[in-house]
A and B are shown apart, each in its own frame.
Chain A
C-alpha cells in the first residue's frame, strides 16, 4: 500500500512539474510520468492497480479538449510495457532503461513521426534526460521494496 501511495504521489508531483518548464533544458523536458510509471511497474504486481496509476497520469497529460490520440497511445504503450518488462531477459534495472527508450521512440513514431524524424536529437535528449529520472525512481522503489513485502500480488 505504501508503494502504491508513493507511486501515486510521485505521479501527482511529476505530472504537475511536467506541465511547467521547470526541468526544461534547451527546450527539452524529461518525461517524468514515463519514468515513474516504468520504474513503478517493476514493483506493482497487479495490473488493475497499475491501471489506476496509469489513469492518474492521463489527467496530467491531457491538455486539449476532445479526443487526444496521444492519450490512447500512452495507455496502450504503458500497458504493453507492463507486460514486456516481465518478458525481457535482462536485469530489471536494464529493462527499465530499455523500456524508457522504446516507449519514448514508439510514442513519437505513432503520434508524431515528423517530430521523430525531424529532430531525432531532441528525442534522443529526451530519452537520456528521462532515463536519469528513471534510474532515480527505480532506486527509490527498490530501496523501499527491500523492506516491504509486496501486497499487490497477481
Chain B
C-alpha cells in the first residue's frame, strides 16, 4: 500500500515538474552567472523617433535542435511578442516569441522554424531566408544575378525594412531545381551574443 502511495506521490511531483516553469527564471539568471555575463538592468536607448532596449542574453536553449535565447527584459520593460531583436540596433538576431514579467524568449535566425522574406544585393532581389544551423537563402529566381558577398536585408512586413542579416556565401544553381539557393554568412556567432537590442518601435 505504502509503495503505491509513494509511486503516486512521485508521479504527482513529476507532473508538477513537467507542467511548471517555476524555476526557469532562476535557472536562466544562474546560467548567465556561469557564463560570466553581466547582470545589468535593461537600458532604454532613444534615437530620433526610434527607441530600443539594450538587454543581456541570459541563456540559450540547452539542446541543439532549437536556437532560442532568453533575455533579461520582459513585459514589465515593454517587451512584446513579435518585437525584433538586433545586434547594435541594425543587425537582425531574431524575434521575441514569448514574454514573461521580467524575461523573454527570442527565436534566432539559426532556429530551423525561422523563415522570413529578404532582399539580396544592391538590386534587392527577393529570396526567402530559411533558418537552421546553417541558414540558407532559397527561392531565388534563376534570372537574378546574385554574387558572393552581396548584403542580405530583412523584408518582412512586421519587421523594420532593411535590417542587416548577413552576406551571401556560395550560390548554388542546380539544373534540377527551379530556383537558385545560397548560403548565408552571419556577421556574429550566436554563442558569443551577450548584449542585444530589442526594437520597441
* Count of interface residues, chain A, beta-carbon cutoff 8 Å: 42
The prevalent SS among residues of B at the interface is: mixed
Chain A contacts of B32 at CB under 8 A?
Answer: 20
CB neighbours (8 Å) of B157 from chain A are none
Question: Does residue A21 face the partner (Cβ distance < 8 Å to B)?
Answer: yes
Residues of B within 8 A of A87 (CB): none
**Interface locus among B46-54, B62-70, B142-150, B166-174:** B62-70
How far, in angstroms, from A114 to B97 measured CA to CA in the complex?
21
Given contact pairs A19-B59, A60-B27, A108 touches B133 in the complex (Cβ within 8 A): no
A53 to chain B, nearest CB (A): 12
Residues of chain B within 8 A of A22, CB atoms compared: 34-35
Write the nearest CB–CB distance from B137 to chain A, whole angstroms.
17
Contact, CB under 8 Å: B62 / A29: yes
Which residues of B have CB within 8 Å of A60?
27, 62
- A-facing residues in B147-201 (Cβ within 8 Å): 190-192
* Interface-lining segment among A10-18, A35-43, A89-97, A144-152: A10-18
The A/B interface has a contact count, at CB < 8 Å, of: 101
Chain B residue at smallest Cβ distance from A58 = B17
Give every chain B residue within 8 A of A119 (Cβ-Cβ).
132-133
Contacts of B63 in A (CB 8 A): 29, 31, 61, 70
| Nearest Cβ on chain A to B102's Cβ, whole angstroms | 13
Interface pair B17/A65, CB less than 8 Å apart: no
Across the interface, do B64 and A55 meet the contact criterion of CB distance under 8 Å? no
Q: Are B24 and A65 closer than 8 Å at their CB atoms? A: yes
List the A residue with the shortest CB-CB distance to B28: A19
> Hey, which chain B residues are within 8 Å of A28, CB to CB?
64
Which A residues are within 8 Å of any B CB, using their own CB?
15-22, 24, 27-29, 31, 33, 48, 51, 55, 58-68, 70-72, 75, 108, 111-112, 114-115, 118-119, 122-123, 126
